[in-house]
A and B are shown apart, each in its own frame.
Chain A
């Protein structure tokens, strides 16, 4: 009994029967997923299955309409919150395709973000000194070059630098739940190791990570507790880390076939 309640309390994300469409097209078709504090979930699945759509719906991107289902984030109704409020509550999305924002400096906007989040949580704004110390510490974590932190957001960054910048921002914001959408794609082998070890250092018993990936390779570094297969808008199979190995070997066809039977 005691045990059960504890487990329930530490549920960070609970998605039930999620249906969502974009531009009139049904993409998510009854998706269920529960993520508890301390867990790492991997979501794999074929191109166009709806993985990024799930991330977009959860983080509140406009144009995505939830037609059925619910999502509780740390007990709160996620879909009742604006995108920025979700971030303020501790949700983070590392974008598959981070946008370039010329003229907006990486660290200035992060400082604005941190102070808005702190105000939301009724905390004092961070001092310039503390903030710079934080930038220094966190950019080290993902070995982000000094000048990248102060440049315009992602402008002229290489593909790999953009991905590192996403994790740098995650480190700065210390979210409760981070969704990493193909953070591994575009990273060279060394960068993959650095970014993965950064993520591992940020992981603790109180937070959780959902990694969306196509490659088992990332999961050698960030070891998942669960591996899900998302196909045609649903989680069609869930297993442990060995499922990723199996998928690497056999692809997705066998799962679909198995379902049809």
Chain B
């Protein structure tokens, strides 16, 4: 059975890749070819052009070549798993945490029962991931497991113009307390495209903290989608720090399925030159008595552009929801730009929701105050920018990760902290 490709753009993009033969991915492929690259006419892609990705000639790399020594500077936890272009590197990973299990499943062995509420197949990039991922990395945290330290997911894109499709499922069982730190790194990966899908199942009474550090060299493309399902009494917190990347798009979709849940979504973007960083978040409050809080901050320099779209739905029967959203931005140059849009759709009547978006420059009076105490203007500005972002950095659970972030800020953005 053959299905005609609908879009020439897509046909050209996927031409270099082998059509998958396993059942799961063949089905994904049949779905994929019905889709097309989003254009700026699409409401959710209005400010982010993917033409550069679309026109790239990419290759899928199955061989691995990373060695332990090149990864060392990026490690920030005692336990870590390394993915090279979406392929699990057992030899470079180290996991010995009681109650935490990592399985690697080849697409050919994915059965219908394999738990994966894959992100909506209607979206091109998640469909691409489903079609071309090499391995499904399944991380399971057993009931009542308490992880004192984070498990690091070191996700490396390696090789020029590679198309990498990491696919990760994180299953946190009842009453477990889990911490993860995802570090995205690109090594010799000019023009590479890292297209990640991560799914979280947060069971009843489970707690999850997920720190996500995006530090992929410019120029490189990164699109990632986190699909989160929260059951009752659970808590999920994600902190996204975007520090590098030519084009970065993050989609966070959280479905709050059980009552008494807490959801925290924090993000910081530090961009310069021609970086483009787009955060689209979506919290779906389907049941009553939940709390969600969102806080995103952008510091944009040079000709960089930022996009923030925070969507919250409170369904009709989801009473007593408290949903807060904040987006604050500082533009350090006259050429930097931000497009910020809250999208609250509230169908219940007994809810507390708020949102606020502010964009401005650094406070001149504050800069002068610091200068008047003997601090140079340059340094004063950096101090103020660091303070602005501090509210987000503070949310990161591990001190090691905070140090990493500060080191990257110092190296790449010349910050003093």
Contacts and interface: CB of A to CB of B under 8 A. Distances in A.
B63 interface: no
B390 interface: yes
A116 B368 contact: no
A104 B387 contact: yes
Contact of A109 (B373, B388, B390): B373
Nearest to A105: B387
Given A103-B390, A104-B387, A173 B373 contact: yes
B372 A93 contact: yes
Contacts of B373: 84, 87, 109-110, 113, 169, 173
Given A62-B368, A99-B369, A84 B390 contact: no
Contacts of B371: 60, 82-84, 87
Contacts of A60: 371-372
Contacts of A95: 369, 372
B366 to A, nearest CB: 5
Given A98-B369, A109-B383, A112-B379, A103 B374 contact: no
Contacts of B366: 99, 101
Contacts of A152: 387
Interface string B345-366: 0000000000000000001111
A173 B374 CA distance: 9
A87 to B, nearest CB: 4
A75 interface: no
A110 B372 CA distance: 11
B115 interface: no
B39 interface: no
B416 to A, nearest CB: 8
A122 to B, nearest CB: 15
Contact of B374 (A99, A101, A113): A113
A92 B368 CA distance: 12
Nearest to A97: B365
B375 interface: yes
A83 B368 contact: yes
B319 to A, nearest CB: 35
Contact of A104 (B364, B376, B384, B391): B384
B377 interface: yes
Given A93-B372, A169-B373, A116 B379 contact: yes
Residue among A104, A114, A169 with the highest chain B CB neighbour number at 10 A: A104
A234 interface: no
B387 A62 contact: no
A109 B374 contact: no
Contacts of A99: 363, 365-366, 369
Contacts of B391: 103
Interface string A67-101: 00000000000000011101110001101001101
A82 B379 CA distance: 13
Contacts of A59: 372
B35 interface: no
A176 to B, nearest CB: 13
B370 A113 contact: yes
Contacts of A145: none
A157 to B, nearest CB: 13
A37 interface: no
Nearest to B383: A104
A59 B372 CA distance: 7
A230 to B, nearest CB: 21
A102 interface: yes
A109 B376 CA distance: 12
Interface string A111-142: 01110110010000000000000000000000
Interface of B: 363-366, 368-377, 379-380, 383-384, 386-388, 390-391, 416
26 contacts: A59-B372, A61-B368, A61-B372, A82-B371, A82-B376, A84-B375, A84-B380, A86-B372, A87-B373, A92-B372, A93-B372, A99-B366, A99-B369, A101-B370, A101-B384, A103-B386, A103-B391, A104-B370, A104-B384, A104-B387, A109-B373, A112-B375, A116-B375, A116-B379, A152-B387, A169-B373
